Amino acid sequence: MMSILLQDNEKNRTMLGEMDGIDTLLQQLAFYKRHDPASAEEHEYMENLFNCLCSALMVVPNRDKFLKGEGLQLMNLMLREKKTSRNGSLKVLDYAMSGPYGKDNCNKFVDILGLRTIFPLFMKTPKKNRRKVLSTEEHEEHVCSIIASMLRNCKGSQRQRLISKFTENDHEKVDRLLELHFKYLEKDAEKEGRPRTSVTEENFTAVRNMLDELESDIPTDRGDLTPSCTSNSFHSA
Q: Any idea which of 93-107, 124-138, 194-208 has the lowest mean pLDDT?
A: 194-208
In this prediction, residue 59 carries a pLDDT of 96
CA dist., res. 70 & res. 72, Å (int): 5
Pick from 48, 63, 49: which is nearest to 17 by CA?
A: 63
pLDDT exceeding 90 applies to what percent of the chain?
A: 65
Pick from 216, 142, 204: which is nearest to 175 by CA?
A: 204
Average pLDDT of the residues in 223-228: 38
Whether the predicted pLDDT of 47 surpasses 80:
yes
In this prediction, residue 118 carries a pLDDT of 98
Average pLDDT of the residues in 162-179: 93
Q: What is the pLDDT of residues 77-122, one digit of tens each?
A: 999 998 999 999 999 999 999 999 999 999 999 999 999 999 999 9
In this prediction, residue 191 carries a pLDDT of 76
Instruction: Give the pLDDT band (50/70/90) at residue 22.
Output: very high
pLDDT, the chain, mean: 85
Average pLDDT of the residues in 186-215: 63
Pick from 235, 32, 35, 225: which is nearest to 113 by CA?
A: 225
Whether the predicted pLDDT of 233 surpasses 80:
no
In this prediction, residue 6 carries a pLDDT of 83
Average pLDDT of the residues in 172-179: 92
In this prediction, residue 192 carries a pLDDT of 74
Whether the predicted pLDDT of 234 surpasses 70:
no
For 196, phi then psi, to 5°, come to -70, 140
Pick from 84, 90, 97, 94: which is nearest to 44 by CA?
A: 84
Residue 150: which H helix or E strand, with range?
Answer: helix 136-153
* Alpha carbon distances (Å) from 153 to 19, 54, 146, 158: 29, 19, 11, 10
Average pLDDT of the residues in 184-210: 65
What is the pTM (predicted TM-score) of this model? 0.82
Give all domains of the chain, ordered by start, each with its CATH number. Answer: 2-167+218-225 (1.25.10.10)
